[in-house]
């Protein structure tokens, strides 16, 4: 019963979704102010989800079963990931051996879900979006994984989040070192791509593809995809804090660090133009890959 409540309430679905939807409102509000607009009220994202739950589910002609299966795959993956991450922050439930690897695997599932769903819809614009999403995943996963490996090496080879936090509690936050700072930059931009935020939102480019991978979704399935992104907006900054800023994770410091990373994500989103997919590939396989390899090399030398 206690485990079930953790998956449903804290730190599971309800908690993650509420924090993520509120963070999404902060993003929309800041973006609106930058563009000299008022922006939506704080409850707008919650009302959007409720509205979608009452909408009709329209299934495109020729769509396969995976069209409806994909949103469940993405949402279940992020709920499981956020729950594991939240429980690992609790001293009474400090995760399990290899939980870092499980989280890294689960983080790629939302993108795979979008690719599967878009490919199943048989819409040409959705297919273009799916193609771009595949290329984006291939681009950012390489430097992202290399940066994670650098943190694993710095933590004595541990792949347990609790051990990584314990290492930082005694040795200081990973971001305070040269290798940690470089890895942090790489992971921050990778998170931007995982969220499908500007400048890495080519797969959903509204001006080009009219929502791209999500163009055929409506009602409950679309609400599930929006909830998936909202939970990612909560879980990914927390994941970044755990890996790089884990010296002090008391509630006050955790909230402050989360706000700092959220502001950074919003600033990147509002100060850069959208990159073409070939530019995204060059960015992650070029400068980001070099930084990730350099961070890993510096880690091996203890820097």
Ramachandran angles phi, psi of 172, nearest 5°:
100, 160
**Which pLDDT belongs to residue 250?**
79
Give me the residues of the chain with pLDDT under 50, please. 92-93
**Which pLDDT belongs to residue 122?**
81
Residue for token digits 């992104």? 229
Are the CB atoms for 142 and 285 separated by under 8 Å? yes
Ramachandran angles phi, psi of 93, nearest 5°:
-145, 75
Pull the structure tokens for residue 34.
Answer: 């930058």
| Among candidate residues 258, 292, 295, 297, the one with its CA nearest the CA of residue 144 | 292
Report d(CA 242, CA 269) in Å as an integer. Answer: 23
**Which pLDDT belongs to residue 1?**
53
Domain that holds residue 231: 2-300
Are the CB atoms for 183 and 259 separated by under 8 Å? no
pLDDT in tens, 121-180: 888 888 888 999 999 999 999 999 999 999 999 988 888 898 898 889 888 889 999 999
| Number of domains within the chain | 1
């Amino acid at each position: 019963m206690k485990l079930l409540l953790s998956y449903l309430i804290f730190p599971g679905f309800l908690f993650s979704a509420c924090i993520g939807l509120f963070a999404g409102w902060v993003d929309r509000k800041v973006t609106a102010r930058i563009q000299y607009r008022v922006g939506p009220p704080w409850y707008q994202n919650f009302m959007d989800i409720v509205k979608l739950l009452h909408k009709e589910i329209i299934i495109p002609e020729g769509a396969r079963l995976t069209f409806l299966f994909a949103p469940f795959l993405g949402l279940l993956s992020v709920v499981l990931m956020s729950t594991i991450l939240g429980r690992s922050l609790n001293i009474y439930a400090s995760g399990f051996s290899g939980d870092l690897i499980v989280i890294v695997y689960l983080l790629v599932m939302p993108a795979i879900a979008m690719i599967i769903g878009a490919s199943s819809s048989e819409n040409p614009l959705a297919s273009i979006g799916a193609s771009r999403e595949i290329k984006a995943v291939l681009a950012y996963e390489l430097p992202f994984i290399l940066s994670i490996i650098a943190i694993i090496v710095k933590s004595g080879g541990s792949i347990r989040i609790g051990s990584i936090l314990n290492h930082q509690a005694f040795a200081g936050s990973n971001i305070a070192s040269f290798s940690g700072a470089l890895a942090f930059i790489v992971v921050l931009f990778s998170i931007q791509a995982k969220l499908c935020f500007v400048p890495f939102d080519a797969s959903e480019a509204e001006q080009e593809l009219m929502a791209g991978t999500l163009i055929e979704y409506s009602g409950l399935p679309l609400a599930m995809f929006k909830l998936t992104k909202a939970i990612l907006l909560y879980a990914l900054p927390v994941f970044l804090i755990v890996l790089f800023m884990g010296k002090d994770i008391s509630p006050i410091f955790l909230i402050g660090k989360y706000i700092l990373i959220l502001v950074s994500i919003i600033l990147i989103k509002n100060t850069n133009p959208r990159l073409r997919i070939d530019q995204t590939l060059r960015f992650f396989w070029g400068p980001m890959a070099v930084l990730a390899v350099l961070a890993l090399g510096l880690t091996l030398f203890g820097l």
